[in-house]
Amino acid sequence: MVKSFQLKGSPVKKVDEIDGYGNPICVVTYSSGLTENSTPLHGRCADFSADEIQAVVDRSNKKPYPMSNKDNLDYAYQNISEASIVDQCYGILIDAKIIECSGALTQGAASTFDEARLTELKSDFGDNWIIEAITYYVFRNFKTYSLESYAASALYEFFVLKRPFRAGYIAAEMDWKFKHESSAILGQKNKKALQAAEAAKPIKAKAKRQQKLERVAKLWHHLKAKMGANAMRKDTNAAQAIHVEAAKHRYPELLIKETSEVIGPEAIRRLLSELRELDKVG
C-alpha cells in the first residue's frame, strides 16, 4: 500500500516493495524541480520516521542506510581495524569498476551524474561527496544485499555518518555472508542431493527433455531415409537402431549425466512413443 504525505511543498510517496532477494525495501519517491527521484531504504516503510524520510529528501547527513540484522549480530567488530574495513570496502568497489584505485569515480559511474548533480554533492557533502556519489550509484545499480551494497553502506556509515562502530557491524556481516554463509549452507547438503535438486527444476528438466525428443526425431528420420520405412515401423526396432547410431556419435542430449553413457533402447522407445503422439515421427 502506498502512503503519501507532503514535505516542504514537494509530494513524497513511500511504498513497501520486495527486492530481487526477497527482502523488504521502502522506496521513497520525491520531486526535485522537474525531476522525479527514487531512493530505496532497507526495511519496511513503517521502520522510518517522517524526519528520516525528510533527511533522505534533503540529502542531509542523517540519510539512513540501515542494513539487515543490525540488532541480531552476535559478534562485535572491535577485532576489525578501521583501516582494514576501509581498504576492504574500497577493494570491492574497485573490483566492481565503480571507483579507480585512486578513489575517483570510474568513467562509467561518473557518466551517470550530470555536472549540476556533482556540484550539488560537492557542496552538500564536502570532502565526502564521492562517498555519497558511490552510495547513490550502488543503490541505484546493484541489488540491495549485494557485496557492493554492503561495501558502500559501510563506507557511508564510516565517513559520512561518522559511525565507525556501525560500519564495523556492516563489514562483519558482509564478511560472514560472502565468505562463510554459502559454505555453512552447502555443508548441510551432500553433493548428490544438490545435483538432484538442480535436475528437479521443472524448467530445466522440460528443456532437457525437449532436446532429447528433437534429437531422437532427427535420428529417426535420418535412419528411415537410410534403412527404409519398414525398418523403422516398429518402435522397438527403431529404438535399437537409434541407440546404435547415438552410441557412435555420442550426442550430448542422449548422454546420462552421471555415467556419460548413452540412454538405453527402452528409454528411446518411450521417447518415440511420445513423438508419435505429437506426430513428429511415423
More confident: 38 or 254: 254
Comparing C-alpha atoms, which of 271, 121, 119, 135 is closest to residue 209?
Answer: 271
Asked if the model's pLDDT at residue 27 lies above 60, the reply is: yes
Looking at the predicted structure, is the pLDDT value of residue 38 above 60?
yes
42 neighbors 141 (Cβ within 8 angstroms): no
Whole-number percent of the chain with pLDDT over 90: 39
For cell 584505485, the residue is 101
Contact residues for 123 (Cβ-Cβ < 8 A; gap 6+): none
pLDDT at residue 66 in the model: 41
| pLDDT higher than threshold 50 for residue 266 | yes
Residues contacting 253, CB < 8 A, separation 6+: 208, 211, 212, 214, 215
171 pLDDT higher than 50: yes
The residues spanned by each domain of the chain are 2-58, 82-186, 195-277
Q: pLDDT band for position 263 (50/70/90)?
A: very high
User: Is the per-residue pLDDT at 218 higher than 80?
Assistant: yes
Neighbours of 245 (CB within 10 A): 17
CA 130 to CA 105: how far, in whole Å? Answer: 8
Confidence of residue 12 (pLDDT cuts 50, 70, 90): confident
Convert the pLDDT of each residue in 114-166 to its tens digit. 999 999 999 999 989 999 999 999 999 999 889 999 999 999 989 998 888 88
Distance, in Å, from the CA atom of 52 to the CA atom of 57, rounded to the nearest integer, reads 9
The rounded percent of the chain whose pLDDT value lies above 70 is 73
What CA–CA distance (Å, rounded) separates 89 from 279? Answer: 60
What was the pLDDT predicted at 72? 34
First CA to last CA distance, the chain: 57
Side-chain half-sphere CA neighbours of 54 within 13 A: 8
Confidence at residue 96, expressed as pLDDT on a 0 to 100 scale? 94
When mean pLDDT is compared across 64-68, 202-206, 215-219, the lowest value belongs to: 64-68
Would you tell me how many other CB atoms lie within 10 Å of the CB of residue 163? 14
Widest pairwise Cα distance in the chain: 85
Query: Measured between alpha carbons, how far is 163 from 166 in angstroms, rounded to an integer?
Result: 5
pLDDT for residue 175 is more than 90 = no
Cell 583501516 -> residue = 83
Q: Tell me which residue has cell 516398429.
A: 234
Predicted confidence (pLDDT) per residue in 51-107, tens digit: 777 776 665 333 334 443 333 333 334 444 555 788 889 999 999 999 999 899 999
Query: Mean per-residue pLDDT for 205-216?
Result: 88
